[in-house]
Structure 1
Amino acid sequence: MLKKMTLRNLTVFSDANLDFGKNLNVIVGENGAGKTHLLKMIYAVLAVSADNARKNQNLLPTKTALQTQLANKLVNIFRPEYLGRLARRKQGRERCDIHLKFSDASQNISFGFATQSKSEVNIDDLPKAWVDTSPAYLPTRELLTIFPNFISIYEGHYLEFEETWRDTCLLLGAPLQKGPKEERIRKLLQPLEEAMDGAIELDKNGRFYLKNQAGRMEMPLVAEGLRKLGMLARLIATGALLDKGYLFWDEPEANLNPRLIKGIARSILDLSTSGIQVFIATHSLFLLREIEMLLTEKKNEQLKSRFFGLHASENGVIVEQGNSVDDIGDIAALDEELAQSDRYLASEV
């Protein structure tokens, strides 16, 4: 479990200390406030560590390998012209520093890079062990329609797609989980498949379908909101989101109607109580309210959640945090939704 992230001079952030919850973490802010940057930074570190655990199980982390691997992953995920462009922009040279602290202290890592850095980070605190579970990252766009041959094309050509797409497609293409865990998987899948009115299938040619009583429907013919539910369902079915691990989801509410958002909120809470540490970024008041109501329902389940509000200031974006939405300050995007409701009700009088 990730317990804490401390950062200095990352893109729009000057200084920030984020204390994470064991189960659910919700990052709220307006467009451009840096929500996605926080998700991507954490994901990049976890992905590099998990990849090494898979390939080099018997080898301990080394500075030589990590300083290049981390730099490459950050460039491939954020897509800057070069690594140093991720350091906060201001006059003169500056250094970006990142520290991640885990419940297992052997996984702790600190690193940094300067504005002129090209292809390496400086490792200040080397982890003594790898993270043993691959994280999952769901971008705002669904990926089921582009899945056929995407991985082979991505790895054989230079494409301007962020590497989270490639990583997620690898997880989507994994075989289905079988055995004693199937009952738990079925329980998590049921509400998603009810919302989609069908189940996700992958054929031998690498094409995804939505299958129901009427037959199979090609994924490009399925509504985009349902495709997003399909990605989550597929990751659950393959076991990528089971028992332990990390889920990062950027704007889960995008392209979903309110009824489906209610279902997504419940799936997020179900995953976070099943052993997955969940991180989401949103500016949807509707999703936040659904999550708050569900948290109230589950108040006896010892569910550890944290909320983070991102606010622009003269010295970069600052972070307010706490155990509820009330602790994160006023978010303009949320206030606008409330104000619109007030205006609508006033116009009806």
Structure 2
Amino acid sequence: MKKNGYCQSHSDHTLFVKRKLNKVNALIIYIDYMIITGDDFDEILRLQINLVVEFKMKNLGDLKYFLGVKVARSSRGIFLSQRKYVLDLLKETGMLGCKPVDTPIVEKHHLGIYSDQVPVDKGKYQRLVGRLIYLAHTCPHIAYAVSVVSQFMHSPSADHMAAVMHILAYLKSALGKGILYGRHGHLRIEGFTDADWAGDVTDRRSISGYFTFVGGNLVTWRSKKQKVVSRSSAEVEYRGMVQGICEILWLCKLLWGLGFKPKDTMKLYCDNKSARDIVDNPVQHDKTKHVEVDRHFIKEKLERKIVSLLFVTSEEQLTDVLTHAVLM
């Protein structure tokens, strides 16, 4: 790729980009599968010819399927889904005829590691959860549930397996769900962060999550248990804000590499007033010493006007779906 004038992205080492005369082409590769896209069609043809010279390759035409993800185009935009992947998974697990449920995980599930738990087949559990982790690439609505069940890969119980089966039953009712990417006339980068304080019943660590949008389209998301126990909801929200800022900084760097410089300050939305007060208050005190490094990291980005921190009401907080069980 470098021999053909492409630069390897520093944000994603599987991405190669070539810019010439205000046109941009990109190639992204996963093992022996690749996608070529761009607005310089002569360069795309030239690259395909050069690749065939070096490797035994097959041109599959316009992108329709990629690693189990279906790509559908319409006047509204590009729609990504894994419907066939879900149907195959339900068929393999005998859940194709199951009764659908409304949520990926029950509220107040209290899943954890207990001394009296009934063990299940570890290999089967890990394979199922692994399939669900991959499915979450186009299903942000199951990200929280998958994050929970993936915490018990080393010692799964009957309750954990029941939670996995519950996710599959939910997928039965959500076969048509996916992600739509449309044109909204801008490339603004925005993020939402949220956290559920002491949400894990076993070790009281908190669950945090973020959504990020580019041009009004959802591009990345994550639901993850934090590495340390936080002493307050403000502290856990603050740690979650740092994860959100790091993600939108990465997206900004990725867009720069593609030749698209964001024109607006990136926005991060948070619904915790205490966490925002820590940002606004420059005074050092006991409430901030546990997040001192994070505090200075956020402060620097705000002062340089790289990121602006905005308040969003709890009713408009999109990231609730990544931190606890909610009705879809």
> Does TM, scored on the shorter chain, surpass 0.5?
no
Q: TM-score, normalised by structure 1?
A: 0.27
Task: State which structure, 1 or 2, has the greater radius of gyration over its C-alpha atoms.
Answer: 2
Structure 2 length as normaliser, TM-score?
0.28
> Relative contact order (alpha carbons < 8 A, sep ≥ 6): 1 or 2 greater?
1
